[in-house]
Structures are given as C-alpha cells and as structure tokens.
Amino acid sequence: MLKIHTRDGRTLRIDLSDPDQAREWLGRLERDSFQAEISGVSVVEHHLVRFRCDACGNKGAEQVGVQYSVSRPQGINSVRYAVELVDVSGEGRGGERVTVYAGDIRLSLMAHQSQPSARISLSKIGKLRFVPRHSQE
C-alpha cells in the first residue's frame, strides 16, 4: 500500500496490486502538475512476525505494521517521484519501490513484502535528461 501526501494536507492511498488503481495513479504521476503537488510518499506494509518468549519459552506471532516515508527534498526545484510494484513470483522477495529524482540525485526505497525491512540507495546520477514514464499496457 502506498500513501501519497499532497501539499494541501491530503493523503491518498494506492494499492498497486489492483490493476485499475495502478493504471489510474500511474497516469496521474505522469502529469507534471500532479508531481508538483506531492509533498511525500509512504510505503505501508503489514507483516506477521513470529517470536519466542525468552522468559517462558512459548512461541507466538503478532501482526506488525511498518511505514517508510520519503518527503520532498527542500531547496531542489526539479523533483520527480516514480512508484512501482516489484513482483518476484515464487521467491517472496517482491515489494514496492519508490524512486525520487531530485536534481542530480536518485533516492530509491525498496520495501520488502516478505519481511519488515527496506533497502535505501542514494546515487548521484547527473542531470536527468530522460524522465521515466510508466507503460500503461
């Protein structure tokens, strides 16, 4: 589940696994006017975590939620967000990826669906000459 936060205080929820929602929202993200309204993007995941009590030795499990947020960088004029559902069928390593292109920097946040963890990478890419677009097949 993705949350897109806008400058007017709204939080919009997107489920990229729903083809209709994905098509609608990826189309919105193509528009420069909508990109300018985004103040941040969050990825929300729910996981079943198994544990063993050190005191009594009993095993248990509980549902936990995690949220990773990327806010709009300050002082950078050229900011563009891209989101995608990463499906690695059969391996359980998929999840949701948020990529932020800010000036000559790319920040990528990959939230894994199989565990409450995320991978964040930051790269200097130079001036962005090609604006990534989502295919809507």
pLDDT tens-digit profile, the chain (137 residues):
899 999 999 999 988 888 899 888 888 988 999 999 999 999 998 877 777 888 888 888 888 788 899 999 999 888 999 999 888 776 667 888 999 999 889 999 998 877 778 899 999 988 766 666 654 44
pLDDT at 135: 46
**Dist CA 99 CA 125 (whole Å):** 13
Backbone phi, then psi, for 122, in 5-degree steps? -130, 125
Domain boundary assignment for the chain: 2-124
Buried b (16+ CB within 10 A) or exposed e, 10-21: eeeebebeeeee
Nearest residue to 69 via CA among 134, 27, 120? 120
Give the predicted TM-score (pTM) of the model.
Answer: 0.77
Query: Which is it for strands 11-14 and 38-52: parallel, antiparallel or unpaired?
Result: unpaired
